[in-house]
Amino acid sequence: MSALWVAIVAVTLASAAIKAAGPVLVGGRELPPQVNAVIALLAPALLAALVVTETFGEDGHLVLDERALGVGVVAVALALRAPVLLAVALAALVTALARLFG
């Protein structure tokens, strides 16, 4: 088997196992309140971390580029109570324009 197929099979199995772990180990049972308190904070923590890495992360560096402008547009649009899809579409548009003229 070539290196590529080894990678494909291994990544598939590992990825499936990672996704299955939480549901199998945690699912269905009543958890202590401390654990629930931690789980409840996973969503805001994960979302915030994803925003930072996908806006400013680039090959192991922090960079300030057109993506930050687009994400800034979303922040302003949401502060003005724009619908989510409109805000996200505006972000893509502004980012594309900034790259075109930047």
Partner 1 sequence: MRNEAGRGGGGYLAGARAGLPFALVVGAVAISFGVLARSLGWGVLAPIVFSVITFSASAQFAVAAVLGAGGGVFAAIAAAVLLNARFLPMGVAVAPFLKGGPLRRALEGQAVVDTSWALANRGGGRFDREYMIGATIPQAVAWIGGTALGVLGGDVVSDVERLGLDVIFPAFFLALLVVELRSGGKRAIVAAATAAALAAALVPFATPGVPVLAASCVAALLGLRGRSS
The least distance separating partner 1 from the CB of residue 100, rounded to whole angstroms, comes to 8
Least distance (Å) from partner 1 to the CB of residue 34? 6
Question: Residue 57 phi/psi, 5° resolution?
Answer: -85, 135
For residue 24, state whether it binds partner 1 (rule: CB under 8 A): yes
Is residue 34 a contact residue for partner 1 (CB under 8 A)?
yes
> Smallest distance, Å, CB 1 to partner 1?
10
- Residue 64 touches partner 1, criterion: CB under 8 A: no
Which amino acid, residue 61?
Answer: H
The size of the interface with partner 1 (CB under 8 A), counted in residues, is 72
